[in-house]
Amino acid sequence: MAQDRPALHEQLRKLTAAKRPSLSFEFFPPKTDEAEATLWQSIRRLEPLNPTFVSVTYGAGGSSRDRTTRVTQRIAQDTTLTPMAHLTCVGASLADLRGVVADYAAAGVKNVLVVRGDPAGGPRAEWVQHPGGPRYAVELVKLVRELGNFSVGVAAFPDIHPASVDLDADARVLAMKAEAGAQFAITQMFFRPETYFDLVERAAALGSTIPIIPGVMPVTNVRQVERIAELTGVALPPEVVQRLHAVADEPAAVRQVGVEIATELSRELLDGGAPGLHFITMNRSTATLEVADALGLTAARV
C-alpha cells in the first residue's frame, strides 16, 4: 500500500527548505502486456530510490486516459510510491473531468498534474476545445482545486511551446496558472541549463515563485529524441546532436553518451539551485538509475 505522506507541495516545500533535491520519475501507460511487464519491472527497480513522486502521462488527444488512470491507481494501492495523476483538457467535458478526479481521490491519489494536453494529431496539430470542456489549463487548475484538497502541478516550457508566440508569453501563462492555484511546475525536457534558469527568472519577475522542477530525459535512442524534439519544439543543441550522431550506429554507446549528457545537465541544474530533477524514463530504468548514481543520489535516498 502507498505510504500516507504529506501533500506533495508540502513535501517539495520541506525539501527546498532543507536544501535537499526532489527526485521523481515519469512513466507512460503501456499498450501491450509485454510493455506493461517492462513498466512494472522499471517501477520496482526505481522504487528503492524513494522518489518524492512518480507520474503517469496521457497519450496525445487523451488517447490513454483509462490506462493512465488504472496504472496510477495501482501505483497508489500496490507500492510505497506517491503517484501524481495527469489530467488534460483534451476530449473531455467538465463532467468527465470531475469523474476522473473523483476516481483518483477514491484510489487515494492526492496529487494531480494539470496540462492542456496535446491534440490527437500531436503537439503541432490544431487545438479544438471539447464542447462543455475547458479550453486552457488555467481553467482545469481552478476546477481541481475546487474539487478537493489536491496538490496541483502544471507544465512549464524552457523552450518555446509550439502554440506560444514567445518565451515571455510562456512565462506569463505559467504565472497565470500559479495565480489560479497551481503549487508547483514540471518542465518539458530540455538540454541547455540556461533555458531553465531563464524561465525561472522570467516567472519570478511576474511574481510566480512556485517550485519549477526541471524535466530531464536520458537519451537512449537518437531517432526517438529527434522525433520528440520535432513535435514539441524542444531545442536540440548542435553539440548534443554531434555527440549522439558520433555513436548513432552503436546502441550501447548511444545510451552511454545519453547518460553522460543527462548527468552533466542535471549537475548544472542542481548546482544552480533547481529544486530537484524529474526524469522522463520512457518506462525504462537503467539509464535513469545510472544518472542518479553518477550524481550521488542513489545512496542518499535508499
* 269 close to 211: Cβ distance less than 8 angstroms: no
Q: Could you give the angle at the alpha carbon of 291 between the alpha carbons of 272 and 151, nearest 5°?
A: 65
- The set of catalytic residues is 26
Q: What 3-state DSSP class applies to 8?
A: helix
- β-partners of residue 83 are 54
What is the helix (H) or strand (E) element at residue 25, kind and residue range? strand 22-27
> Which is it for strands 151-156 and 276-280: parallel, antiparallel or unpaired?
unpaired
Residues 30, 42: Cα–Cα separation, whole Å: 12
- With beta carbons less than 8 A apart as the criterion, state whether 143 and 107 touch: no
SS3 letters across 164-191 = CCCHHHHHHHHHHHHHHCCCEEEEEECC
Helix, strand, coil shares, percent, the chain, to 5: 50, 15, 35
Residue length, the chain? Answer: 302
Helix/strand/coil for 269: helix
Side chain identity at residue 140, one-letter code? L
Question: At which residue does the C-alpha cell 487515494 appear?
Answer: 108
Phi/psi region, residue 282 (left: phi>0; alpha: psi -120 to 50; beta: rest), is left
